[in-house]
Structure 1
Amino acid sequence: MPLIRFDLIEGRSDEELATLLDAAHEAMLEAFKVPAGDRYQLVYQHKPAAVRIEDTGLGIERTQNVLIVSITTRPRTREEKVAFNQLLVEKLEQRCGIASSDVMINYVTNSDEDWSFGHGEAQFLTGKL
């Protein structure tokens, strides 16, 4: 059920994007223990001039592969988030060649009444999920 948004600089091929989405889904399945069909991912591509991701004084160098991953989700434990973060950067580096220094992750947490998967129903509240 997490909704994952990827903001990146345009220029990746369809195959590269598919690999990126698959790697992120695998990390989510492992860290959050959600069902395999629980996949909601969006990619937003931006012109290089429209992206400024600096390092907040941490000395992190970014490249054109910079990627912001925003996860909208029901509450997750600290352990789940730490596991997801680590699994994600490992899988992105292994499968996509994206350095961990190029990956910025943030979470937006909401509650069950904030989700409708269709038909205007709040399926978490109705018990369908």
Structure 2
Amino acid sequence: MEKNSETILLCVLEILEHIKCVENNVLELSKKSMLNINSFIAESNIEINESIVESLQYQDIITQQLSATIDAIESIDKSIKIYLHNLRQDSDIFSDSLEKLQKRLNQSLQNAKDKKNAFSGGAFNEDNEESVEFF
């Protein structure tokens, strides 16, 4: 049981690391995109209308959402590594450690959901007749 758990969790860590790497790459592309768009607007002396402002704000929301998921991945990664360390050190604490891992994972999930809600600015609430609220 312990060896299977360790193998599965090591695989999960690899998957999380891959996802984090992809998200970091997307963040970098997003940053470059925003710089290019801002340069184009400045060089072209384009008047910025409400639609452009809203699009730029959505881009900022995307960046914040990706950052929040990276934070969640790092938290989960840390929790799993602690669990694996405990699993390797003392098999007697297996069940207690598993419960602690579950609590930490649930907390990471809740934190990620809270950040999603906080960073969305109401962008995903299609029922809301009002405009999107930005910070």
TM-score relative to the length of structure 2: 0.28
Greater radius of gyration (CA): 2
What TM-score results when the alignment is normalised by the length of structure 1?
Answer: 0.29
| Structure with the bigger percentage of helix | 2
Larger strand proportion, structure 1 or 2?
1
